[in-house]
Amino acid sequence: MSKSPLKIAIAGLGTVGGGTVQLLHDQAELLAARAGRTLALVGAAALVRPPELPLDGVPFFTDARELAKTCDYDVLVELIGGAGGIALEVVKTALERGRSVVTANKAMIAHHGVELALIAERTGANIGFEASVGGGIPIIKSLREGLAGNRLSKVMGILNGTCNYILTTMRDSGRDFADVLAEAQALGYAEADPTFDIDGIDTAHKLAILASLAFTMPVDLDAVSCEGIRHVSALDIRYADELGYRIKLLGVASRTEAGVETRVYPAMVPLSFPLAHVGGPFNAIVTEGDFVGRTVLEGRGAGARPTASAVVADLMDLATGRVGPTFGVPVADLTPLPAAATGSHRSAYYIRLMVKDEPGVFADIAAALRDEKVSMEQIIQRGRAPEETVPVVMTVHETEEAAMLRAVARINALASIAEPAHLIRIENL
Ligand code: NDP
Ligand code: HSE
């Protein structure tokens, strides 16, 4: 092997950093054979040196800034996390030194991706962020390369392993939200602050990145509307089952003549659509292109080994020289696109109401829907409890979001309604 090794420095040795060190160690021969050169670890940083990792002979730093500034590497792998702070600092240091960066940090790419791409263009460095979206699924490469011959109209999917694990496990086991979230954290799926997962922020970061690549526009996190899964109850999950749906947290980016829409929301997905069957920590991403039609990619969306697989894919690209502009084209060629008007989005809906079981309730609810021209599809009410509240579940046909919200406001104002309506979109795909 005549080529010099690719010199790698890793900042962050937690779930993903640990998995990456292990993969580089376990697959060293395979990687060298495929790259035509060795991938050599020349430095690592974490607050505490993890004794279980194969880091013998690798210089260790407790200060990642020191690693980024002083170590002689070709590529810095940033696996600390956080949109700004030390992660951003070490990445900028590496890029300013003209050294490439590989990162799994979607928060940083969503907030600072364009700024970092500009530094990389100026200094001749490259940035790989395959691991930032979809865990082990090669979606960044697919958008940048495999689908490059298409105008994409849509990219959507299940983009957060923690939420999918929670929703699937709650359905399968009947366990409660907090208990399953704690398990997802123990398995290494969740963000350092898990509210990023359950409030949809992590999905929004990923969706903003995907929309940029799919529609050749600058990353626009502010344009993403975001709703998480906190309000999805075990009762909603049971009703979804009964109605022939699975509840999934979706990120959906679409481009129409009205503009670009980027939205994160929990949705009822029909069992006939493949995303309904994507369970546990798995992610799946659907794209629609004008020549290729629909593609679906599925795989493990979080965890040490799948994410390490994506980090190393970027390292292999750097080792072999398969590199290009960060977002597929130079930053100057990313074109901002108008956002579609809010409220114009059309969808069918599931509505769960907790009502006082008394005469005339249904008539009042039906009148609120009629007044906003929302057409009811079906209604379920079981049991009688004159003293207490009972759930009433309805589905309505596709309607404009603004009309649905007006109808819900009318319903919430009725004296017989015990708590605000629970609304979940039904995704008809
Ligand atoms: P962890 O919390 O498991 O690991 C973070 C690592 O960073 C730890 O090794 C920690 O050191 C180290 N660290 C923290 N502060 C410093 C510092 N000041 N200097 C040096 N090292 C520091 O996070 P994950 O591995 O889960 O996530 C890392 C990144 O990967 C994040 O951006 C995350 O969003 C992303 N990601 C995570 C996935 C997952 O499944 N977990 C999947 C895809 C992306 P110490 O251990 O000593 O405290
Ligand atoms: N916390 C993230 C998730 C990690 O659960 O999907 C993978 O990006």
User: Would 312 be classed as within a structural domain?
Assistant: no
Closest ligand 2 atom number to CA of residue 132: 8
* Banded model confidence at residue 386, pLDDT cuts 50, 70, 90: low
Question: Are residue 101 and residue 165 in the same domain, yes or no?
Answer: no
In the numeric block, which tokens belong to residue 247? Answer: 């509840």
Question: Are residue 162 and residue 290 in the same domain, yes or no?
Answer: yes
Beta bridge partners of 381: 392
Scored b (16 or more CB within 10 A) or e, 237-254 reads bebbeebebbbbbbbbbb
Question: Are residue 33 and residue 95 in the same domain, yes or no?
Answer: yes
List active site positions.
206
User: Would 336 be classed as within a structural domain?
Assistant: no
Ligand nearest to the CA of 311: 1
Range of the domain at 90: 6-132
Domain count, the chain: 3
Domain boundary among 98, 132, 166: 132
Question: Are residue 147 and residue 281 in the same domain, yes or no?
Answer: yes
User: Would 147 be classed as within a structural domain?
Assistant: yes
Question: Are residue 244 and residue 163 in the same domain, yes or no?
Answer: yes
User: Would 311 be classed as within a structural domain?
Assistant: no
> What is the per-residue pLDDT for 241?
95
Residue 268 phi/psi, 5° resolution? -85, 120
Q: Which of 197, 181, 163, 187 is nearest to 304 (CA)?
A: 187
Question: Are residue 116 and residue 176 in the same domain, yes or no?
Answer: no
Question: Are residue 161 and residue 275 in the same domain, yes or no?
Answer: yes
CATH number, domain containing residue 84:
3.40.50.720
Pocket probe for ligand 2: among 158, 202, 206, the residue whose CB has the most ligand atoms within 8 Å is: 202
pLDDT higher than 90, residue 115: yes
- Residues with Cβ < 8 Å from 213, sequence gap 6 or more? 140, 143, 144, 327, 328
**Consecutive H or E run containing 169:** helix 161-173
Nearest CA to ligand 1 atom 2: 14
Question: Are residue 168 and residue 269 in the same domain, yes or no?
Answer: yes
Question: Are residue 53 and residue 10 in the same domain, yes or no?
Answer: yes
> What is the per-residue pLDDT for 384?
67
Q: Is the CB of 79 under 6 A from ligand 1?
A: yes
Closest ligand 1 atom number to CA of residue 67: 20
User: Would 37 be classed as within a structural domain?
Assistant: yes
Provide the 3-class DSSP secondary structure of residue 3: coil
pLDDT higher than 90, residue 332: yes
What is the average pLDDT across 284-307?
98
Question: Are residue 174 and residue 127 in the same domain, yes or no?
Answer: no
Q: Indicate the pairing of strand 417-426 with strand 259-270.
A: parallel
Higher per-residue confidence, 419 vs 385 = 419
Q: Which of 323, 318, 324, 326 is nearest to 40 (CA)?
A: 318
Q: Is the CB of 16 under 6 A from ligand 2?
A: no
User: Would 357 be classed as within a structural domain?
Assistant: yes
User: Would 331 be classed as within a structural domain?
Assistant: no
Residue 377 phi/psi, 5° resolution? -100, -50
CA of 158 to the centre of ligand 2 (A): 11
User: Would 313 be classed as within a structural domain?
Assistant: no
Closest ligand 2 atom number to CA of residue 134: 8
Question: Are residue 196 and residue 256 in the same domain, yes or no?
Answer: yes
Question: Are residue 156 and residue 266 in the same domain, yes or no?
Answer: yes
Check the CA dihedral 16-22-27-28 and report its sign. Answer: positive
Domain boundary among 96, 116, 132: 132
> What is the per-residue pLDDT for 343?
73
| Predicted structure pTM score | 0.96
Nearest CA to ligand 1 atom 28: 79
pLDDT higher than 80, residue 412: yes
CATH number, domain containing residue 259:
3.30.360.10
pLDDT in tens, 128-186: 999 999 999 999 999 999 999 999 999 999 999 999 999 999 999 999 899 999 999 99
Nearest CA to ligand 1 atom 46: 14
Q: Is the CB of 17 under 6 A from ligand 1?
A: yes
> What is the per-residue pLDDT for 381?
84
Rounded to 10 degrees, the C-alpha dihedral 213/216/218/222 comes to -70
CATH number, domain containing residue 410:
3.30.70.260
Domain boundary among 113, 132, 151: 132
